[in-house]
Amino acid sequence: MMPIPPMIRAGLPLGLLLLGACAQSVERPAVPAPSAVARLQIIAFNDFHGHIDEVGQSVLPPGSPADAPRLAAGGAIHFAQAIERLRAENPNSAVVSAGDMISASPLISGHFLDEPTIRVMNKVAVDFNSVGNHEFDRGPDELRRIQSGGCEKFTKLAPCQVIPDFPGASFGFLAANVQQADGSTLFPAYGLKRFSLGGGTVTVGFVGVTLEGTPDIVAPSGVANLRFLDEAKAANAYVPALRQAGADILVLLIHEGGYASGEGDPGDCGSLSGPLPEIMSRLDPAFDLVISGHTHQAYVCRYGAVDPGRPFLATSAGQYGTQITRITLDYDVAARKLVDKRAENVLVAQSRDAPAAQPELADLVARYRAAAAEVSDRVVGKLGGPLTPVADASGQSTLGNFIADAQLAATRAPERGGAQLALMNPGGLRSPITPLPDGAVRFGDLYSAQPFGNVVLVKQLTGAQIRAALEQQFTRGARPSILSVSSGFGYSYDASRPAGERVFDIMLNGAPLMDEGIYRVAMNNFIAQGGDGLRLFAPAPVLAEGPVDVEALEAYIASESGRDPSALDRIRNVTPQ
């Protein structure tokens, strides 16, 4: 397959005012570059998730102990000002994202299909974004609209609600390992940025990939007719094309990451666990940098300490725009050689002068904040207590059980599907719902808990299929991933038993679940279509389509004033301790 022609980004943004920020480098300090050496800068971030507002965001400064005070950080205005500060220090800069820039976002962005976030990033002058798994939440057609612009409707939410014309992203989306049915990539595989310097031109090539397992964590409708290839193999395949296009420095933007263990040298990738080290072990040594995401971690390390033949500098900047990574590259233009690379994570500190320094962004955020408030502040009802996604020893949570009850209530009537039970995946529980002192609950609280806009479906399953799904909870990952269940349904489990025998005493409304029985089960379309690895749900027939999940939750709360949190008595963990 011939590679997609690269995008070429030109033009260097001007630096403006400085913004104070805390930083800790886990690399050696910068030294003055020789006169023949050009100094370039890459400013990187990941997992922004539409966090354009500054309210409620705080983070530990990079390198601080766990008990250190958290500082207010993030927000579009401060994010933009921090990037301008770094550009002012070095105008030879590129700004890139390692995915999940949009979706799973707060209401101020997500309710408006993340158009606000794209407008922010256009003003920031991002160069490239490697698509992440959440970019696919609303499907490839909507993602194409986000890239190219327009107001065509592909979702239940209306586009262009606040500002009538949506220009799309002025920066390129990259997707080297996302193939369409004809074998072409959904977006260009790579992009180039050229820097004209006194001694010549230096070209940086960026390859973008998302995790190969994206189809397992995105609703199948969001990735229909797309193939997600091995990350390292896909990136390696474009090295010859990048070299032919004149790339002097190669950077992998990958929406997959690792976890810093906190043991040993923090700059040594030997202390990094998770998928990223294995991917780097197979990555072409031609790459110089690996800018990662997905795990929402903050780290900078040298993979060469693990594999001297692959001296990658690997970075990740945490989440939600509260940190950015400053990467400094010293390039000998005459010798055509990268002679040094180093990085540090920088806190995006909030400052009082930012709104005055960023008036356009301040106005943009204020406009969407006002529009969001009309939706968010509406009181939907009252609760008798808080709902939390934190699971107890059985894997149940008050939020999960409550949502399962809400989805059962929304589909129980015969004309709405006649559901007998409901299942809710724990990965769909994003934040707690905490009532106001008088018990009042606002729509914004519901949206924060369920921001994906999934539709509740009723599917026909046999008792054997339900049993198999419950058994699969113990085989989908390193730890059990327990589905929340609705009132009237319950079972016991012993995780120490052999696979296939862990779940027993399954009861529905006081009667044993029969393997040969036929049951109507409510669930969101994400797991109904096989999301979270629950592929056995996908072929089951759909009997009815209900409301959007957050609408079902709102209706359930509104139907009874002061409704109490759901009981945690449905799943019994009898595993010997």
**In this structure, what are the phi and psi dihedrals at residue 58, rounded to the nearest 5 degrees?**
-150, 160
Contact assessment for residue 168 and residue 177, using Cβ atoms and an 8 Å cutoff: no
Q: Is residue 27 part of a domain?
A: no
Q: How much is the pLDDT for 36?
A: 79
- Of residues 407 and 17, more confidence is placed in 407
Collapsed DSSP state (helix, strand, coil) of residue 392 = coil
Nearest-CA neighbor of 251 among 295, 185, 202? 202
Q: How much is the pLDDT for 112?
A: 96
Q: How much is the pLDDT for 262?
A: 65
| Among 317, 344, 370, residue at a domain's last position | 370
Mean pLDDT lowest among 62-71, 258-267, 272-281, 472-481: 258-267
Q: What Rg value do the Cα atoms of the chain yield, rounded? A: 25
Contact assessment for residue 459 and residue 523, using Cβ atoms and an 8 Å cutoff: yes
Mean predicted confidence (pLDDT) in 14-36: 39
Mean predicted confidence (pLDDT) in 283-288: 98
Q: Is residue 19 part of a domain?
A: no
| In the chain, % of residues over pLDDT 70 | 93
Q: Is residue 451 part of a domain?
A: yes
Q: Are residues 365 and 385 in the same domain?
A: no
- Give residue-wise pLDDT tens across range 320-375: 999 999 999 999 998 999 999 999 999 999 988 888 889 999 999 999 999 999 89
CATH classification of the domain holding 356: 3.60.21.10
Nearest-CA neighbor of 510 among 406, 387, 378, 421? 421
Contacts of 429 (CB under 8 A, 6+ apart): 389, 397, 399, 400, 403, 449, 450, 484
The chain-wide mean pLDDT, for the chain, equals: 90
Q: How much is the pLDDT for 264?
A: 61
Q: How much is the pLDDT for 259?
A: 87
Q: How much is the pLDDT for 383?
A: 96
- pLDDT at position 32 over 60: no
Q: Are residues 485 and 512 in the same domain?
A: yes
Contact assessment for residue 439 and residue 384, using Cβ atoms and an 8 Å cutoff: yes
Mean predicted confidence (pLDDT) in 275-289: 98
Q: Are residues 343 and 410 in the same domain?
A: no
Q: Please report, to the nearest 10 degrees, the dihedral formed by the alpha carbons of residues 261, 262, 265, 268 taken in order.
A: 30
Q: Are residues 533 and 393 in the same domain?
A: yes
Q: Are residues 346 and 400 in the same domain?
A: no
Burial group, residue 122, by CB count within 10 angstroms (0-12, 13-18, 19+) = middle
| Among 345, 370, 395, residue at a domain's last position | 370
User: What crossing angle do the helices spanning 115-124 and 359-376 adopt, rounded to 10°?
Assistant: 170
- Give residue-wise pLDDT tens across range 200-242: 899 999 999 999 999 888 888 889 999 999 999 999 999 999 9
- Give residue-wise pLDDT tens across range 132-191: 999 999 999 999 999 999 999 999 889 999 999 999 999 999 999 999 999 999 999 999
Residue type, position 131, single letter: V
Per-residue pLDDT band for 561 (boundaries 50, 70, 90) equals confident
Q: Are residues 394 and 520 in the same domain?
A: yes
Per-residue pLDDT band for 477 (boundaries 50, 70, 90) equals low
H or E element in which residue 55 lies: none
Q: Are residues 100 and 231 in the same domain?
A: yes
Q: How much is the pLDDT for 529?
A: 81
Q: List, as one string, the DSSP characters of 204-269.
A: EEEEEEE-TTHHHHS-GGGGTT-EE--HHHHHHHTHHHHHHTT-SEEEEEEE---EE-S-S-TTBG
Q: How much is the pLDDT for 15?
A: 29
Q: Are residues 391 and 302 in the same domain?
A: no
Collapsed DSSP state (helix, strand, coil) of residue 163 = coil
Q: Are residues 286 and 406 in the same domain?
A: no
Nearest-CA neighbor of 241 among 216, 289, 282, 206? 206
Determine the distance from the C-alpha atom of residue 94 to the mean position of all C-alpha atoms in its chain, rounded to a whole number. Answer: 22
- Of residues 218 and 503, more confidence is placed in 503
- pLDDT at position 421 over 50: yes
Q: How much is the pLDDT for 547?
A: 86
Per-residue pLDDT band for 197 (boundaries 50, 70, 90) equals confident
Q: Is residue 561 part of a domain?
A: yes
Q: Is residue 10 part of a domain?
A: no
Q: Is residue 25 part of a domain?
A: no
Q: How much is the pLDDT for 13?
A: 31
Q: Is residue 11 part of a domain?
A: no
Q: How much is the pLDDT for 35?
A: 55
Q: Is residue 408 part of a domain?
A: yes
Q: How much is the pLDDT for 23?
A: 37
Contact assessment for residue 172 and residue 187, using Cβ atoms and an 8 Å cutoff: yes
Nearest-CA neighbor of 208 among 174, 256, 250? 174
Contact assessment for residue 378 and residue 443, using Cβ atoms and an 8 Å cutoff: yes
Q: Are residues 342 and 258 in the same domain?
A: yes
- Of residues 73 and 197, more confidence is placed in 73
Q: How much is the pLDDT for 31?
A: 45
Q: Are residues 150 and 227 in the same domain?
A: yes
- pLDDT at position 11 over 60: no
Number of domains within the chain: 2
- Give residue-wise pLDDT tens across range 431-462: 999 999 999 999 999 999 998 888 899 999 99
- pLDDT at position 394 over 90: yes
3-state SS of the chain: helix, strand, coil percent to 5? 25, 25, 45
Per-residue pLDDT band for 2 (boundaries 50, 70, 90) equals very low
Q: How much is the pLDDT for 29?
A: 41
pTM: 0.79
Domain holding 48, by residue range, is 34-370
| In the chain, % of residues over pLDDT 90 | 74
Give dist(CA 300, CA 79) in Å, integer: 20
Contact assessment for residue 87 and residue 14, using Cβ atoms and an 8 Å cutoff: yes
CATH classification of the domain holding 428: 3.90.780.10
Q: How much is the pLDDT for 367?
A: 97
Nearest-CA neighbor of 403 among 378, 384, 423, 374? 423
- Of residues 428 and 283, more confidence is placed in 283
Per-residue pLDDT band for 548 (boundaries 50, 70, 90) equals confident
Mean predicted confidence (pLDDT) in 560-567: 92
Q: Are residues 416 and 330 in the same domain?
A: no
Q: How much is the pLDDT for 466?
A: 97
How many residues are present in the chain? 577
Per-residue pLDDT band for 69 (boundaries 50, 70, 90) equals confident
| Among 306, 339, 370, residue at a domain's last position | 370
